[in-house]
């Protein structure tokens, strides 16, 4: 119950800073970008002109200006670059001291500005306009507020775009490397969890075939699931975000715990086949296999515990979780598993 309460608190809202080495220069550089240059993570929008409109024309850039104003209002999106922004900046130059100066309010004013600006935007057009001549781009930076928070903000922006921009003039969608990286991390995390679930099913089937008993199947699974619950609870209480790199911990823990359980139950089965009682078989298994399980766990514990001295947070987290749950796994295998066997295993009488 304590582990489940911690597991409920697990967050997937990981950010870049939490994965950078503590106190390292690369972390200081990252924080400098975050504080002084509007953010490290890129945010891009591609705007496709509709119904034959020009992507650098008044109608399209008017919609881009609305979106740019919405992006600024979020408070976490900065360094916004777009063709509409150049026109808004030119208006401020033309109307010095006017705080309301922004994107041209009429097509006539826009065209008079365009006659001047287009001579200076040749290089920018190569970056902000597509070669096909039907798309323009909005480039920005977003603060490192966490992957989940960015996803929520992105969905909110998508809804705002659908409700407030003219679909007959523009089609807008989010793009860029930041979106791709977030999607990739989500796919990896999801696939690792699905793979873990598939491993549970396959190992359950193998356990059932090995011992030819449904009772032994769940007796074997309980001590292997509890260490994973312990790891999940620890993550929740320590505030460790679940990301792709951390997700692999559960597969490692499950593999190590299952390995110990198979050794214990395999020797137990051999003892039962030799005609020993359940109690005698447990004692024999402890003497022969129990020692090996303990020594193996000690070696693995100190091997992974060395990782907690790393200045890299993901390495520290993986080492801590695996080391702690290794102890939980060996306790479950050597204390809980024999209790379950004594209580629920029924050995058929020998003839």
pLDDT at 350 over 70: no
Q: Which two tokens stand for residue 161?
A: 């775009």
Q: Which two tokens stand for residue 280?
A: 């005698």
- Alpha-carbon dihedral angle through residues 114, 120, 126, 127, given to the nearest 10 degrees: -90
CB atoms within 10 A of CB 297: 19
Distance CA 300, CA 273 (A): 32
Based on the domain organization, do 234 and 280 belong to the same domain?
yes
- Tokens 């800073």, located at residue: 17
- Tokens 């870049």, located at residue: 16
CA nearest neighbour of 85 among 47, 131, 53, 34? 47
Q: Which two tokens stand for residue 107?
A: 């097509």
| pLDDT tens digits for range 133-161 | 789 999 998 888 888 888 889 999 999 99
Band (346; pLDDT cuts 50, 70, 90): low
Q: Can you give the pLDDT at residue 159?
A: 93
Based on the domain organization, do 208 and 308 belong to the same domain?
yes
Helix (H) or strand (E) holding 273: helix 244-273
CB atoms within 10 A of CB 70: 16
| pLDDT tens digits for range 71-114 | 999 988 888 888 888 888 888 887 776 666 678 888 888 888 88
Last residue of a domain, one of 147, 175, 203: 175
Based on the domain organization, do 192 and 338 belong to the same domain?
yes
CATH of the domain at 146: 3.30.70
| pLDDT tens digits for range 31-79 | 888 888 777 788 899 999 998 898 888 899 999 999 999 999 998 888 8
Based on the domain organization, do 232 and 170 belong to the same domain?
no
Based on the domain organization, do 171 and 222 belong to the same domain?
no
CATH of the domain at 214: 1.20.1640.10
Number of independent structural domains in the chain: 2
Q: State the average pLDDT over residues 279-291.
A: 88
Based on the domain organization, do 228 and 139 belong to the same domain?
no
Based on the domain organization, do 78 and 200 belong to the same domain?
no
Q: Can you give the pLDDT at residue 351?
A: 47
Collect all residues with Cβ–Cβ distance below 8 Å to 349 and sequence separation of at least 6: none
Distance CA 62, CA 88 (A): 10
Distance CA 233, CA 235 (A): 5
| pLDDT tens digits for range 224-258 | 888 888 888 888 888 888 777 777 777 777 777 78
Based on the domain organization, do 207 and 171 belong to the same domain?
no
- Alpha-carbon dihedral angle through residues 104, 108, 109, 110, given to the nearest 10 degrees: 60
Q: Can you give the pLDDT at residue 64?
A: 92
Based on the domain organization, do 240 and 268 belong to the same domain?
yes
The answer to whether residues 16 and 126 touch, using CB atoms and an 8 Å cutoff, is no
Based on the domain organization, do 71 and 171 belong to the same domain?
yes
Q: Can you give the pLDDT at residue 156?
A: 93
Last residue of a domain, one of 133, 151, 175: 175
DSSP-assigned letters across all residues of 88-118: HHHHHHHSTT-TT--S-SSHHHHHHHHHHHH
């Amino acid at each position: 119950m304590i582990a489940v309460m911690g597991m409920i608190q697990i967050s997937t809202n990981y950010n870049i800073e939490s994965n950078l080495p503590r106190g390292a220069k690369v972390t200081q550089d990252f924080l400098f970008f975050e504080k002084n240059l509007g953010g490290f993570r890129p945010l891009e929008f591609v705007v496709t002109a509709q119904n034959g409109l020009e992507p650098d024309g008044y109608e399209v850039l008017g919609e881009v200006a609305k979106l740019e104003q919405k992006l600024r209002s979020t408070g976490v999106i900065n360094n916004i670059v777009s063709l509409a922004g150049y026109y808004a900046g030119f208006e401020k130059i033309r109307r010095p001291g006017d705080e309301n100066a922004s994107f041209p309010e009429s097509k006539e004013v826009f065209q008079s500005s365009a006659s001047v600006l287009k001579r200076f935007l040749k290089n920018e057009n190569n970056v902000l306009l597509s070669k096909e001549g039907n798309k323009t781009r909005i480039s920005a930076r977003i603060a490192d507020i966490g992957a989940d928070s960015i996803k929520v903000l992105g969905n909110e922006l998508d809804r705002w775009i659908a409700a407030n921009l003219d679909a007959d003039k523009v089609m807008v969608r989010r793009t860029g490397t930041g979106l791709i990286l977030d999607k990739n991390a989500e796919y990896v995390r999801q696939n690792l969890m699905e793979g873990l679930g598939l491993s549970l099913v396959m190992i359950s089937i193998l356990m059932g075939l090995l011992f030819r008993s449904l009772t032994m199947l769940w007796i074997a699974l309980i001590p292997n699931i509890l260490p994973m619950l312990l790891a999940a609870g620890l993550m929740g209480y320590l505030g460790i975000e679940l990301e792709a790199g951390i997700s692999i911990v559960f597969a490692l823990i499950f593999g190590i715990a299952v390995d110990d359980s198979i050794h214990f139950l395999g020797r137990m089965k051999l003892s039962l086949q030799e005609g020993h009682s359940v109690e005698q078989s447990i004692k024999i298994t402890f003497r022969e296999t129990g020692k090996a399980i303990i020594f193996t766990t000690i070696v693995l514990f100190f091997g992974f515990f060395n990782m907690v001295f790393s200045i890299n947070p993901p390495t520290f987290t993986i080492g801590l979780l695996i080391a702690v749950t290794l102890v939980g796994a060996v306790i479950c295998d050597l204390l809980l598993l024999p209790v379950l066997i004594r209580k629920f295993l029924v050995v058929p009488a020998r003839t």
